[in-house]
Amino acid sequence: MKSDPEYKLPPRLPQKSWLYSLVKQWVKLIIPVFFKEIVVEGQENIPASCAVILAPNHQNSFLDAVVTLCFLPRPVVSLARANVFNHSIAGKILAALYMRPVFRQRDGVNTVERNKPIFDLTINDLLNGRAVLIFPEGNQDFKRQLRSLQKGFARICFGVLTKQQMPGTNIQEPQKPLVIVPVGINYTRHRWWRGRVYVVYGQPIDVGNYYQTYTELPQRGLRQITDDLAAKMQALIVHIAPTEYYEVINFLRRFYRFEQVKKLHPSKTSTLPQRHKAEQQIVNALNQYAQTQPDEMALLAQTTQLYLQQLRAIELPFYSTLQVPITIKQQMLAVVKHIILLPIYVWGLLHSGLPVFIAQTLGINLVRKEPQFQASVMFAASLLLFPLFWLLIFCLVLAIWQPVWWIAILYAISIPLSGKITIWGFEQLKRLKYQFRYAYYYRHHPDIIKRLNATCSEIYEWMRNIVP
């Protein structure tokens, strides 16, 4: 173990921070560029003034903190890896963003000793009515499942209530309840741009309801609040139980999603929360099926693997199957449409292609050994690159067209608009490529498509019998 370097506590957190407000507004502007869609629900479950611990699941590095916090009206204290606080200037900036350091086992220091003063400061934050973000799982993973919760959050909770009972406690505000708000973060894709994310805040848990048990039997109190929080968090996410069939269930979650949505909402266009609910029902049914019908689940897994092999052989996604192939006329019209839009695509690439390329390169190359950081690095790079690049281009055009200033304004409007159209166009072209390929195999290799669709239909029939 390394010898502990000299370490000073971070600067005191401000009551109000213009930097925090500025960064939050900046993040709100970039989020629609990075994500195709973000839906946030349940903010009414977060009390406006009393002490709150926000407890999200943890899959995607600091991007989880970004999507949890940026749409909340009140500032939230969060914990970050200690090594980013090494420089005094960095420490002051991070303190202005309401961040405190926390040491990890991999830092090679005595984490219990080093984190104790940080946890004491966090307890004081809660005593003074602040909101604090804590990831109860203590680690992160792309898997769509809730891992075992660590008890650190529970010890902080009971530390707050215990300190409230102590005479002479320096509390700046009257004592208020302490609640934990479970948070579910659900990404459609973890590592890349233009995914969708659904954030839902659950019903708050009053920590005071567990304190009597904790004072009498501390381990039971810790276990009860940990188990109850885990149950509430699990209800907010898609939870695939630990099983040998994880990859199969994860695929079937997407494969059968829209069929389940149509069953639940036959006359409506599906929303992200509706698709999330459908995925939960699919996964819960398959989790139970794997436990109660292990032999049948093994056969379903075998059939699913066969279907995936058939798809890989002809390089098609699952959503291309069981479709009427696109006609020659439709192919020609689609090509003409994209040729007409080509100048806009080129314009969008000229103004947004370089920031995208740099951010993506940084995301891939800087965190090869920790892929959970890829999207976070790309997002952080986007926060700087897009505004900087667009501002430089706008200033250049404004300098050239200063006498006719309105041209520069129209130019500025065209930059994000053309970028959005270009993204849409690339997504359409990708789908069109698969439609062309499916039509080719349908006409020239019908036996391959016949076998593929037969396997697909078999899985659909199986799923209709499993999922209520």
User: What is the Cα–Cα distance from 426 to 375, expressed in whole angstroms?
Assistant: 20
Lowest mean pLDDT, pick from 90-99, 119-128, 168-177, 254-263? 168-177
Give the model's confidence band at 312: pLDDT under 50 very low, under 70 low, under 90 confident, else very high. Answer: very high
CB atoms within 10 A of CB 210: 22
C-alpha 195/C-alpha 420 separation (Å) is 14
Going by C-alpha positions, the residue among 162, 321, 144 that lies closest to residue 233 is: 144
The two tokens of residue 86 are: 């090494």
pTM of the model: 0.86
CA distance 117 to 135: 19
Give start-end residues of each CATH 3.40.1130.10 domain in the chain: 18-234
Give the mean pLDDT of 91-119. Answer: 73
Mean pLDDT (whole number) for 250-259 = 94
The domain 18-234 is placed in CATH, from the list 3.40.50.10260, 3.50.50.60, 3.30.930.10, 3.40.1130.10, at: 3.40.1130.10
Task: Indicate if the pLDDT at residue 126 is higher than 50.
Answer: yes
Q: What is the mean pLDDT of residues 234-258?
A: 94
Q: What is the mean pLDDT of the chain?
A: 86
Q: Can you tell me the mean pLDDT for 298-319?
A: 94
347-351 long-range contacts (CB < 8 A, ≥24 apart) are: 347/414, 347/418, 347/422, 348/418, 348/419, 348/420, 348/421, 348/422, 348/423, 349/422, 351/389, 351/390, 351/393, 351/415, 351/418, 351/419
Give the β-pairing of 178-187 and 205-206: antiparallel
Taking phi first (over 0 means left), then psi (-120 to 50 degrees means alpha), and beta for anything else, what does residue 61 get? left
State whether residue 304 is helix, strand or coil: helix
What pLDDT, on the 0 to 100 scale, is given for residue 172? 47
**Dist. CA 136–CA 154, nearest whole Å:** 9
Q: Is the pLDDT of residue 171 over 50?
A: no
